[in-house]
Structure 1
Amino acid sequence: MGFLALGLVFCAFVSLSDSYCFFSAPTLGAKHCVDGNDNSLHLPGTTWTSSGCLRCTCFKNNDMRCCDRMGRAFTETEGCIVKYDYRTCTFEVVHEKDSTIKCKYGAVGK
């Protein structure tokens, strides 16, 4: 019982230290990891970037770990918007109507 409690505490610290990553357990009998964005199959030992800009690794036991490569931005300037480019896994924050206005923003993740 003590090991279970210790394991739960450890899991809490892992999630606090890297909140933009997640683990996915394999389906019973699966021989591949499945990318949740496009349902593509990946062999154990491979790493790829998904169409949603997640960097994923399929481990030998078919556990999968994915981390956000791009981060997510939020604007602090009225009239500014975030434009995400999922081909390059980048974003820019621009004013919707006036490109000379500098946008104040923050980002989380990555």
Structure 2
Amino acid sequence: MDLLKYPGVGRSGHFCKGHYLYCNFGYQYLACKAADKPDDPLLGLPMMQCYADKYYARQFLMTLHQWKNPLDIISRLMSYLLGDEQSLSRFSEAQAIRYLVDSLLNRDLLVFEMDEPRMTYSGH
């Protein structure tokens, strides 16, 4: 379920303002450049786990939800970051993931949680 729709997110070309992602648990995230971050005070801070730990960032990207994300989501993110769809042919998927991880660590790519934290009932 998409909670919010920001203008330009999910588009292609120079009108693109980022992409929605779904983690392997089905939670929705927004991946965008700092310049494209929506002006929404409720968006919160980017996920610090992706910037503090290279292993976590790699696992996050490698284990995205298989059917909620487009099959070419890694390519879409690369195209968005590079600003050039023609340059994708020189990257394998492993190289693209390494590039995206480096972009996360350098904070060139930001990832924001879109789903609200779930409340659990303990029974007490």
Taking structure 2 as the reference length, the TM-score comes to 0.23
TM-score, normalization by structure 1:
0.24
The structure whose residues are more often helix, as a share, is 2
- Higher normalized strand content (fraction of residues): 1
